[in-house]
A and B are shown apart, each in its own frame.
Chain A
Amino acid sequence: MLTDSDYSAIRLTLELAGLTTALLLVIGTPIAWWLARTRCWWKAPVSAVVTLPLVLPPTVLGFYLLVAMGPNGFLGQFSHALGLGNLPFTFPGLVFASVLYSMPFVVQPLQNAFNAIGDRPLEVAATLRASPLDTFFSVVVPLARPGFITAAILSFAHTVGEFGVVLMIGGNIEGKTRVVSVQIYNHVEAMEYAEAHWLAGGMLAFSFLVLLAVNFFNPQGKRVSP
């Protein structure tokens, strides 16, 4: 069965995923909106950068983060200047990395949802005296709701499943950076297969439920009536 160490890892994972998702919805929404609306030439490079974590091996991201967040890296210098100290081996460091790592899972569904809305509802709102910001909250957000739900679920799930990056910058500290995926890895490496099965099976069930939920909230069909 599960040990205290396992429970601590589960708690930490849920905290990490929750905080990351909340931050990503705040940060990812304007980025997705900009990507969905802009026609300027550097949309493509920005989009590619945001999507990078989707194709990069997590170890690459983890390695560069470790170097960049180190005392000699530019992020490290920045975090020191802000008085945050070193980010690797800390919970805030994991949150920062997770935000980068899960970014495409928030930006892409939102961008798709925003694209699907099209220009017309925005124009209608403008002719009804709604400012662009007002329009965003009164029209875009409600119409893009399935996109927001998908983004939140995927970001949460992806952060829960995050492994390579955490392994690279976490330092395996119980209660601070040892999340479930790392715990499973430790169990397997230590040949504690019974313990590994409990956690790994749990993850499998969790992931299945998440994908089921995404399908449930994203039924095929039109979003904007003519």
Chain B
Amino acid sequence: MASEHIPAIDARFRLAYPGFSLDVDIKLPGRGVSALFGPSGSGKTTLLRCLAGLERTPDGYLALGGEIWQQGPAFVPTHRRPLGYVFQEASLFPHLSVRRNLEYGLRRIADGARRVSLDSAIELLGIGHLLERIPDRLSGGERQRVAIARALAVSPRILLMDEPLAALDLARKQEILPYLERLHDELEIPLVYVSHSPDEVARLADYMVLMEGGKAVASGPIHEMLTRLDLPLAHGDEAGVVIDTTVGEHDEIYHLTRLDFAGGGISVARQPYALEHHVRLRIPARDISLALERHGDSSILNVLPASVVEIADETPAHVMVRLDAGGVPLLARITRKSSALLGLKPGMAIFAQVKSVALLS
């Protein structure tokens, strides 16, 4: 995956307010979802606003697919940038119906620039039944879906989303996430997504920029970022990897589905997907145990051959082991004692026993 991405967004911004500064130099891929991830106050939203031109840095640089939006004093104002932006609060125009909100941007672009039809945006977000309502009469989740469709309707060349789920409760988040996943799967354009939720990032992101104190401390494909032992993401109880798989086989006898990836196959309970369908999995580090041999006498079904890449101290009682399964990195969190008993060393061949996986889509 790492080699596939084309650096289509090239951005350098420097900004200083009293008590806050931003100093970033990043390149983001031209397809898929790039997450700007970090704690609040780390500058994610400011960076996104700089990308949109809502915040103007005195001396910055921004190019999208070779087209320069900002360079020194040259600055393309927001309303001339072919982008879509979804704010944390839906911010629908209260004086316009849902339909008029959707048409607001659409009317303001040239006919030739319309690549996304209003109907397809409405269909993608499932808001066909809301068109004649006014925003006050919508639920929070419905509003946010309308806002996303409104942003898509301008046929943007890049979609920027600022924590679109943060203002919603859990149920509303669950309502919207599937639509975001559809965007991920169906959009041809890059999507930059600000979030401080590891779960959202794990579900949606392909690429990740880790923000801290106004700086981009690390960036890379999500699989690498989640398993880099020099980063905080690969540590703690919640650490884990995400793996993109395809449906390889259905076992109708035992009612199982096998999901394939470069490192092997993982069987899960029967899924309703067709063969070749893409499924993203999350494997928590604490749910992988290690064995020197493949055991036939265990209840654990999913055992992947792998090799030890790196071992890092975790707590006085635990270590984090980074594995390589057919080129795909995995993380295993085991006790220091187990590590010593197995005599783990980098380069060692090992079997990773996967106790549980979470299907993200």
Report how far A134 CA is from B107 CA in the complex, Å.
12
- Give the secondary structure class of A's interface: helix
Contact B84 A127 (CB under 8 A): yes
Q: Which residues of B contact A120 (CB under 8 A)?
A: 87, 89, 91
Contact B105 A128 (CB under 8 A): yes
**Binary flags per residue of B64-96, CB closer than 8 Å to A gives 1, else 0:** 000000000000011110011101011111110
Q: Which residues of B contact A223 (CB under 8 A)?
A: 94
CB-CB contacts below 8 Å: A95-131 with B: 120-121, 123-131
Interface residue tally of chain B, by bracket? 20 to 34
Q: Which residues of A contact B80 (CB under 8 A)?
A: 129
Closest to B150 in A: A128
CB-CB contacts below 8 Å: B119-166 with A: 135-136, 143, 150-151, 154
**Binary flags per residue of B111-123, CB closer than 8 Å to A gives 1, else 0:** 0000000000000
CB-CB under 8 A for A129 and B94, given A134-B108, A225-B135: no
A213 interface residue (CB < 8 Å to B): no
10 of the cross-chain contacts (CB-CB < 8 Å) are A123-B85, A124-B93, A126-B54, A127-B78, A128-B105, A128-B150, A130-B108, A143-B94, A225-B135, A226-B91
A224 interface residue (CB < 8 Å to B): yes
**Binary flags per residue of A148-183, CB closer than 8 Å to B gives 1, else 0:** 000000000000000000000000000000000000
Which residues of B are at the interface with A, using a C-beta cutoff of 8 A? 52-54, 77-80, 83-85, 87, 89-95, 104-105, 108-109, 135-136, 143, 150-151, 154, 167
Interface residue tally of chain A, by bracket? 20 to 34
Q: Which residues of B contact A225 (CB under 8 A)?
A: 92, 94, 135-136
**Binary flags per residue of A202-226, CB closer than 8 Å to B gives 1, else 0:** 0000000000000000000001111
Report how far A36 CA is from B78 CA in the complex, Å.
21
Nearest 7 A/B pairs, CB to CB: A128-B105, A127-B85, A129-B108, A126-B78, A225-B94, A142-B95, A226-B89
Q: Which residues of B contact A200 (CB under 8 A)?
A: none
* Nearest-Cβ distance from residue B223 to partner chain A, whole angstroms: 31
Closest to B89 in A: A226
Contact B83 A127 (CB under 8 A): yes
Report how far A130 CA is from B87 CA in the complex, Å.
17
Closest to B160 in A: A127
Q: Which residues of B contact A142 (CB under 8 A)?
A: 95
Closest to A224 in B: B94
Q: Which residues of B contact A224 (CB under 8 A)?
A: 94
Report how far A126 CA is from B93 CA in the complex, Å.
13
Report how far A204 CA is from B42 CA in the complex, Å.
60
Closest to A119 in B: B54
A138 interface residue (CB < 8 Å to B): yes
Q: Which residues of B contact A139 (CB under 8 A)?
A: 93
CB-CB under 8 A for A129 and B95, given A134-B108, A225-B136: no
Q: Which residues of A contact B109 (CB under 8 A)?
A: 129
CB-CB under 8 A for A121 and B85, given A126-B77, A127-B52: no
CB-CB under 8 A for A121 and B91, given A127-B52, A129-B79: yes
- Choose among B87, B108, B143, B167 the residue that contacts A124 (Cβ–Cβ < 8 A): B87
CB-CB under 8 A for A143 and B95, given A127-B84, A129-B105, A129-B108: yes
Q: Which residues of A contact B79 (CB under 8 A)?
A: 125-132, 134-135
CB-CB under 8 A for A129 and B93, given A124-B87, A138-B104, A225-B136: no
Report how far A138 CA is from B104 CA in the complex, Å.
9
Other contacts beyond A127-B151, A225-B135: 11, CB < 8 A:
A124-B93, A125-B79, A126-B53, A127-B54, A128-B79, A128-B104, A128-B105, A129-B79, A129-B109, A130-B79, A134-B79
